[in-house]
């Protein structure tokens, strides 16, 4: 073992002339020297790489005035005041929060019909960082016939340029025996402990039987199944009815995917999860009925999680009725709803039904590479689903949630970072406490800005949030102690982000939603 060097104590606070071990603090500790901090790496305030001082630290549970000491990319001290630091960042008048974790983003991903998103991992991660995110978990999508090992190898290569840390949720569209019993367990063992399934889209919908298979395998390995829930047959039927009437302009997309279709599919997904005894995460909930079903399942003891997205709170189906093809920019699935649904969704955000608010960043440009691939005037079923929003998510939620008095600051942190870290097993992220990665965003809570396309720093040619006036700006964003963005300037370097493995879900302390017949079956089999 290497013996740590002894160095002369040069702490701001300690004036002693003693020598100390590099990792053990000053030998006079407890008498004259007060530089001992709770740093696992060492204990000399003067040797922090970075100290963020003078700000208000906000976590998912509290806020307080304090300083943060960072060494080797980790938070190693949080105290009322910390001296030293090779670099000192003045956070006076600012909020110091865990950097956002974007848990729903489509980056360098082909849609089922083969359209590539406009953002790869370089532009996608830069845009995320400008929006206050220190890490993200986009999707790694399996297309039918593809092995999960190939999917992971593909995204390994695609993600290399990322400037922030990343992990992936798998998308599984082809649950063969090999996928279920060989390939998925290998992916889980690598720390990719969540996967998403679809109940809709011709090339992704896996059906009830496929979903039960996946839920069971995920349960056995402590992985979390996420679901895009819309009833495929109901949507297909509505498409037929609308098409027969010649109603194919973008605004009819909203009618083609009724609230009922989401509510039915969420109910079904929760019921299938109940039968298989697996946890479930319902993505982009857009309806009051769907949110209420999630709430009910939790009340019954289910390990059911859910998110909604800013677009369902900020925009309505009227946006799909903008002149010409402009409405195509607002086509996403599930679709935008109405003002009454927005109010109901806000109540669910406020009362804890939603664990997170994610962007569902699905960037398809308003040109022939994306939304208009099938030409100007294409019928709505031929227009790519999805909208960008990875840079707007946090500023929008801060402004509309915290500044407008709908959310506490602590709720904002929980909804944008801490809950995602907990649910998806990112053990070193989403909290400001010693030992965690120094993934930190420093916000100016009073700065006012109008949303512009340029400020999104993505590879898009529109933002659905254009022109909205928002209060609160993430001024400095760090990933593992490195400043990625500061005051509107990119400092992060291509490839600086790292893959982070995630832990499986803990199941202890959960009552679950037992199913009589399943219990009897297990008892009969002596399980
Ligand atoms: O419309 C959306 N949200 N497109 C992205 C893919 C998905 O369904 O999540
Ligand atoms: Zn989806
Ligand atoms: Zn999505």
Q: Is the CB of 104 under 6 A from ligand 1?
A: no
* Same domain (yes/no): 168, 44: no
Is-contact 395 472, C-beta < 8 A?
A: yes
Task: Report how far apart, in Å, the C-alpha atoms of 226 and of each of 71, 229, 276 are.
Answer: 35, 9, 14
Structure tokens at 52: 């963020």
* Same domain (yes/no): 48, 181: no
Q: Which atom of ligand 1 is nearest to the CA of 283?
A: 9
pLDDT of residue 113: 80
Give the distance from CA 91 to its chain's centroid.
25
Q: Which protein residue's CA is at the shortest distance from atom 9 of ligand 1?
A: 360
* Same domain (yes/no): 55, 191: no
* Same domain (yes/no): 77, 213: no
* 190 in any annotated domain: yes
pLDDT of residue 25: 46
Q: Which residue, 311, 358, 309, is CA-closest to 136? A: 358
* Same domain (yes/no): 40, 115: no
pLDDT of residue 84: 95
**For the domain that residue 308 is a member of, what is the CATH number?**
3.20.20.140
Q: Is the CB of 228 under 6 A from ligand 1?
A: yes
Tell me how far apart the alpha carbons of residues 203 and 71 are, in angstroms, rounded to a whole number: 47
- Overall number of domains in the chain: 2
Q: Which of 57, 75, 93 is the last residue of a domain?
A: 93
Tens of pLDDT along the chain (527 residues) come to 333 334 444 444 444 444 444 344 444 333 333 333 444 444 444 489 999 999 999 999 999 999 999 999 999 999 999 999 999 999 999 999 999 999 999 999 998 788 999 999 999 999 999 999 999 999 999 999 999 999 999 999 999 999 999 999 999 999 999 999 999 999 999 999 999 999 999 999 999 999 999 999 999 999 999 999 999 999 999 999 999 999 999 999 999 999 999 999 999 999 999 999 999 999 999 999 999 999 999 999 999 999 999 999 999 999 999 999 999 999 999 999 999 999 999 999 999 999 999 999 999 999 999 999 999 999 999 999 999 999 999 999 999 999 999 999 999 999 999 999 999 999 999 999 999 999 999 999 999 999 999 999 999 999 999 999 999 999 999 999 999 999 999 999 999 999 999 999 977 777 889 999 999 999 998 88
pLDDT of residue 439: 99
Tell me how far apart the alpha carbons of residues 77 and 527 are, in angstroms, rounded to a whole number: 47
* Same domain (yes/no): 44, 142: no
* 510 in any annotated domain: no
Backbone angles phi, psi at 298, to 5 degrees: -65, -40
Which residues span the domain enclosing 220? 100-387+407-428+436-447+473-490
Ramachandran category for residue 509: left, alpha or beta (phi over 0 → left; psi -120 to 50 → alpha): left
* 235 in any annotated domain: yes
Pocket test residue of 115, 119, 200, 386 for ligand 1, highest count of atoms within 8 A of CB = 386
| 487 alpha carbon – ligand 1 mean position (Å) | 31
DSSP characters for 437-498?
B--EEEEEEEEEEE--SGGG-SS-S--TTTT-EEEEEEEEEEETTEEEEETTEE---TT---
* 392 in any annotated domain: no
* Same domain (yes/no): 309, 377: yes
- Look up residue 93 and give its DSSP letter: T
* Same domain (yes/no): 213, 66: no
Q: Which ligand is nearest to the CA of 387?
A: 1
Local structure of 367: helix, strand or coil: coil
Say which residues have a Cβ less than 8 Å from residue 438's Cβ, sequence separation at least 6. 50, 68, 70, 73, 74, 75, 478, 480, 481
Structure tokens at 408: 């506490």
Question: Percentage helix, strand, coil, to 5, in the chain?
Answer: 30, 20, 45
pLDDT of residue 527: 81
* 259 in any annotated domain: yes
Q: Which of 93, 114, 144 is the last residue of a domain?
A: 93
**For the domain that residue 60 is a member of, what is the CATH number?**
2.30.40.10
| 386 alpha carbon – ligand 2 mean position (Å) | 9
* Same domain (yes/no): 69, 138: no
Instruction: Write out the E strands in 320-423.
Output: 356-357
Structure tokens at 362: 């699905």
* 46 in any annotated domain: yes
Tell me how far apart the alpha carbons of residues 63 and 59 are, in angstroms, rounded to a whole number: 6
Q: Which of 93, 113, 137 is the last residue of a domain?
A: 93
* Same domain (yes/no): 172, 252: yes
Say if residue 53 is preceded by a cis peptide, omega within 30 of 0. no
Q: Is the CB of 333 under 6 A from ligand 1?
A: yes
* 144 in any annotated domain: yes
| 70 alpha carbon – ligand 1 mean position (Å) | 38
Pocket test residue of 171, 228, 390 for ligand 1, highest count of atoms within 8 A of CB = 228
Structure tokens at 153: 């190898």
* Same domain (yes/no): 66, 200: no
Task: Report how far apart, in Å, the C-alpha atoms of 501 and of each of 130, 165, 283, 497 are.
Answer: 24, 10, 21, 13
Tell me how far apart the alpha carbons of residues 278 and 224 are, in angstroms, rounded to a whole number: 8
Q: Is the CB of 111 under 6 A from ligand 1?
A: no
Ramachandran category for residue 513: left, alpha or beta (phi over 0 → left; psi -120 to 50 → alpha): beta
DSSP characters for 24-54?
TEETTBTTTB------TT---GGG-SEEEEE
* 143 in any annotated domain: yes
* Same domain (yes/no): 84, 123: no
Q: Which protein residue's CA is at the shortest distance from atom 2 of ligand 1?
A: 386
pLDDT of residue 45: 43
């Amino acid at each position: 073992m290497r013996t740590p060097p002894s160095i002369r104590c040069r702490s701001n606070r300690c004036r002693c002339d003693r020598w100390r071990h590099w990792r053990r603090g000053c030998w006079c500790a407890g008498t004259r020297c007060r530089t001992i901090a709770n740093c696992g790496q060492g204990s000399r305030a003067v040797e922090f790489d970075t100290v963020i001082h003078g700000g208000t630290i906000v976590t998912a549970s509290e806020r307080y005035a304090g300083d943060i000491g960072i060494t080797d990319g980790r938070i190693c001290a949080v105290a009322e005041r910390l001296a030293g630091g090779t670099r000192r960042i003045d956070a006076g008048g600012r909020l110091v929060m865990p950097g956002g974790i974007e848990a729903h983003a489509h980056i360098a991903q082909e849609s089922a019909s083969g359209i590539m998103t406009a953002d790869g991992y370089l532009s996608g991660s830069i845009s995320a960082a400008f929006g206050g995110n220190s890490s993200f978990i986009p999707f790694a999508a399996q297309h039918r016939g593809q092995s999960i090992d190939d999917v992971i190898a593909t995204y390994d290569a695609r993600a290399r340029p990322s400037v922030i840390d990343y992990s992936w949720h798998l998308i599984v569209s082809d649950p063969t025996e090999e996928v279920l019993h060989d390939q998925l367990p290998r992916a889980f063992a690598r720390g990719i402990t969540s996967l998403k399934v679809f109940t809709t889209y011709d090339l992704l919908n896996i059906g009830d039987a496929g979903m039960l298979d996946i839920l069971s395998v995920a349960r056995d390995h402590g992985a979390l199944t996420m679901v895009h829930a819309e009833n495929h047959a109901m949507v297909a039927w509505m498409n037929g009815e609308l098409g027969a009437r010649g109603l194919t302009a973008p605004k009819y997309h909203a009618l083609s995917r009724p609230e009922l279709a989401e509510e039915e599919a969420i109910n079904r997904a929760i019921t299938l999860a109940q039968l298989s005894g697996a946890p479930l995460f319902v993505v982009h909930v857009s309806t009051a009925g769907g949110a209420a079903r999630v709430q009910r399942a939790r009340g019954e003891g289910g390990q059911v999680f859910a998110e909604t997205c800013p677009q369902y709170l900020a925009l309505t189906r009227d946006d799909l009725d903008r002149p010409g093809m402009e409405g195509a920019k607002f086509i996403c699935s599930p679709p935008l709803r109405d003002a009454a649904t927005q109010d109901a969704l806000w109540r669910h955000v406020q009362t804890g039904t939603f664990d997170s608010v994610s962007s569902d960043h699905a960037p398809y440009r308003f040109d022939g590479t994306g939304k208009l691939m099938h030409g100007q005037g294409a019928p709505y079923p031929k227009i790519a689903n999805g909208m960008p929003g990875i840079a707007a998510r946090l500023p929008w939620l801060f402004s509309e949630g915290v500044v407008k008095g709908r959310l506490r600051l602590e709720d904002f942190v929980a909804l944008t970072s801490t809950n995602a870290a907990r649910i998806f097993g990112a053990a070193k992220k989403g909290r400001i406490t010693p030992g965690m990665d120094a993934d930190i965003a420093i916000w100016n809570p009073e700065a006012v800005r109008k949303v512009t396309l340029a400020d999104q720093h993505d590879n898009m040619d529109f933002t659905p949030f254009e022109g909205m006036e928002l209060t609160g700006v993430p001024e400095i964003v760090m990933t593992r102690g490195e400043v990625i963005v500061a005051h509107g300037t990119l400092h992060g370097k291509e490839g600086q982000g790292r893959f982070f493995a995630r832990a499986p879900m803990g199941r202890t302390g959960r009552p679950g939603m037992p199913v009589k017949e399943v219990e009897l079956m297990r008892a009969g089999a002596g399980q």
